[in-house]
């Protein structure tokens, strides 16, 4: 049976929409670095910057974190910082970022065997500039230091690392070195089960970010905080892209099964009552199938973020729906009817303008309700998985 949500027209909300823009490939702007810029193709633009941060923001209304790269300045914005969505920018690491392991101490075994090549965004500006690599920071400038979170701190861990170019080569490490000692803070390597980075709200830090193969990486971070007022832990997934000698996000499709394995632990994924299409483990009223279809987080209540919205448009209405566009086994059908006794029809809704990109594989679509529907109308969004 298809899973569907029913919406009755009883409210109007503001709709924002814009055509999708080029993905920015962030590169270093120091002298000599531009000679190592990638020759990007259609849909991408090279954006030089002296420094960029992987920045996290907090939305108190939805109680969710979001994030993406944030430049201090750029060649387009006249010197003002620019905050990018997670799918709108790639931090590019050219071949000049290659290094070889030279330290034989066992704490450096994550770099491979002696002489093995790895790629790194260095944690110091001097090392970054010398290697013509982008100088990257990790920040929480979008999280106010107002006591919202216990000890004014948030915690970062790595949820998943994907090399979208070479799937088997997906090693990633974020670490610092102090007095000759390696402090591993971000990785999925089981050799470092306690890896975690703690950052002050509105804080800023730097780590060495190491990759052991070339490719286009999607690193998904889990950002957590404990609300000081209630003791409740809130968390969100924040994906970001790193291009190690690669600059283009490859076209990929996502099945419900792939999504389930990425979003849940192995134990949760094996329990249909937690990760099955009809389950609602976060209790926000949206099933896992609907979270998959609308780009939600199945383990964090985010109904206000993914719920379809309505706006009055003259004498008619516009329905705005977040929809997964890269699914291999999903059908999403916005429908309308004059009454609950009538047949539902997709023909009563007409797509408007260009979809607005929300995240990789998630676009926001606007539909104009047919003007022949007067008095009252009913709307729903039907989501259905293909039968295996």
Q: pLDDT tens track of the chain, all 388 residues?
A: 343 333 433 322 222 333 346 899 999 999 999 999 999 988 899 999 889 999 999 999 888 999 999 997 544 455 568 899 888 899 999 999 999 999 999 999 999 999 999 999 999 999 999 999 999 999 999 999 999 999 999 999 999 999 999 988 999 999 999 999 999 999 999 999 999 999 999 999 999 999 999 999 999 999 999 999 999 999 998 999 999 999 988 877 889 998 998 888 889 999 999 999 999 999 999 999 999 999 999 999 999 889 999 888 777 788 999 999 889 899 999 998 888 777 888 998 999 877 887 777 888 999 998 877 766 788 899 999 987 6
All residues at 6 or more sequence positions from 97 whose CB lies less than 8 Å from its CB, including other chains: 119, 120, 121, 131, 132, 133, 244
Same domain? 213 vs 353: no
Same domain, 225 and 267: no
221 domain residue, yes or no = yes
Token reading at 348: 């009563």
Domain boundary among 244, 263, 291: 244
**Is 289 contained in some domain?**
yes
CB 202 within 8 A of CB 141: yes
Instruction: Find out whether 320 and 364 touch, Cβ atoms under 8 Å.
Output: yes
Let me know whether 224 and 355 are in one domain.
no
> Of 210, 244, 278, which residue sits at a domain end?
244
Q: How many Å is the Cα radius of gyration of the chain?
A: 23
Contact yes or no for 256/287 (Cβ under 8 A): no
199 and 57 in a common domain: yes
Query: Is residue 353 in a domain?
Result: yes
From the list 204, 65, 33, 251, the residue with the least C-alpha distance to 129 is 33
Task: Classify residue 68 as left (phi > 0), alpha (psi -120 to 50) or beta.
Answer: left
Per-residue burial over 109-144, b if 16 or more Cβ lie within 10 Å, else e, is ebbeeeeeebbbbbbeeeebbebbbbbbbbbbbbbe
Q: Same domain, yes or no, for 170 and 55? A: yes
The separation between CA 342 and the C-alpha centre of its own chain, rounded to angstroms, equals 40
Asked if residue 300 is part of any domain, the answer here is: yes
Indicate if 58 and 97 belong to the same structural domain: yes
Give residue 291's domain range. 1-21+253-388
Q: Which two tokens stand for residue 62?
A: 């939805």
Confidence at residue 1, expressed as pLDDT on a 0 to 100 scale: 36
pTM, two decimal places: 0.67
Contact 186, 195 (CB under 8 A): yes
- Number of compact structural domains in the chain: 2
Is 35 part of a structural domain of the chain? Answer: no
**Residue that terminates a domain, selected from 185, 214, 244:** 244
Would you say residue 191 lies in a domain? Answer: yes
Q: Are residues 152 and 170 in the same domain?
A: yes
184, 85: one domain: yes
- Sign of torsion over alpha carbons 174, 177, 178, 180: positive
Residue (of 195, 197, 200) closest to 149 by Cα position: 200
Beta bridge partners of 321: 365
pLDDT the model gives residue 13: 26
263 and 221 fall within a common domain: no
> Is the same domain home to 331 and 264?
yes
Distances (CA, A) of 303 to 33, 148, 177, 317, 350: 44, 22, 41, 21, 25
Q: Are residues 236 and 178 in the same domain?
A: yes
133 inside domain: yes
């Amino acid at each position: 049976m298809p899973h569907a949500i029913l919406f009755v027209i009883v409210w109007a909300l503001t709709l924002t929409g814009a055509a999708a823009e080029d993905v920015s490939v962030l590169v270093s702007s120091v002298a000599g670095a531009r000679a190592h810029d990638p020759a990007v193709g259609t849909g991408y633009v090279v954006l030089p910057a002296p420094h960029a941060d992987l920045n996290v923001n907090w939305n108190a209304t939805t109680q969710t974190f979001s994030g993406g790269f944030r430049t201090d300045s750029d060649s387009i914005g006249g010197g003002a910082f620019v905050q990018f969505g997670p799918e709108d920018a790639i931090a590019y690491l050219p071949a000049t970022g290659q290094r070889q392991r030279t330290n034989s101490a066992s704490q450096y075994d994550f770099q491979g065997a002696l002489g093995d090549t790895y790629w790194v965004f260095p944690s110091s500006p001097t090392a970054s500039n010398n290697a013509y690599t982008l100088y990257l920071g990790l920040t929480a400038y979008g999280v106010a230091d107002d006591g919202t979170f216990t000890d004014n701190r948030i915690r970062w861990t790595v949820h998943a690392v994907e090399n979208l170019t070479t799937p088997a080569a997906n090693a990633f490490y974020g670490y610092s070195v102090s007095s000759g000692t390696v402090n591993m803070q971000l990785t999925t390597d089981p050799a470092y089960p306690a890896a975690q980075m703690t950052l002050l709200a509105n804080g800023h830090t730097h780590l060495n970010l190491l990759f052991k193969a070339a490719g286009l990486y999607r690193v998904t971070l889990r950002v957590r905080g404990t609300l000081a007022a209630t003791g409740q832990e809130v968390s969100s997934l924040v994906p970001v892209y790193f291009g190690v000698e690669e600059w283009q996000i490859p076209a990929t499709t996502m099945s419900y099964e792939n999504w389930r394995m990425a979003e849940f632990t192995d134990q949760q994924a094996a329990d249909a009552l937690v990760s099955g299409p009809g389950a609602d483990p976060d209790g926000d009223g949206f099933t896992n199938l609907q979270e998959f279809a609308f780009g939600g987080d199945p383990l964090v209540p985010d109904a206000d973020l993914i719920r379809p919205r309505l706006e009055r448009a003259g004498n008619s209405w516009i329905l705005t729906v977040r929809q997964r566009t890269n699914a291999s086994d999903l059908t999403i059908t916005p429908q309308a009817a004059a009454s609950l006794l009538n047949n539902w029809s997709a023909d009563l809704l007409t797509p408007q303008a260009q979809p607005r990109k929300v995240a990789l594989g998630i676009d926001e679509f606007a539909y104009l309700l047919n003007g022949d529907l007067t008095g009252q109308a009913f709307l729903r969004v039907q989501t259905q998985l293909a039968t295996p």
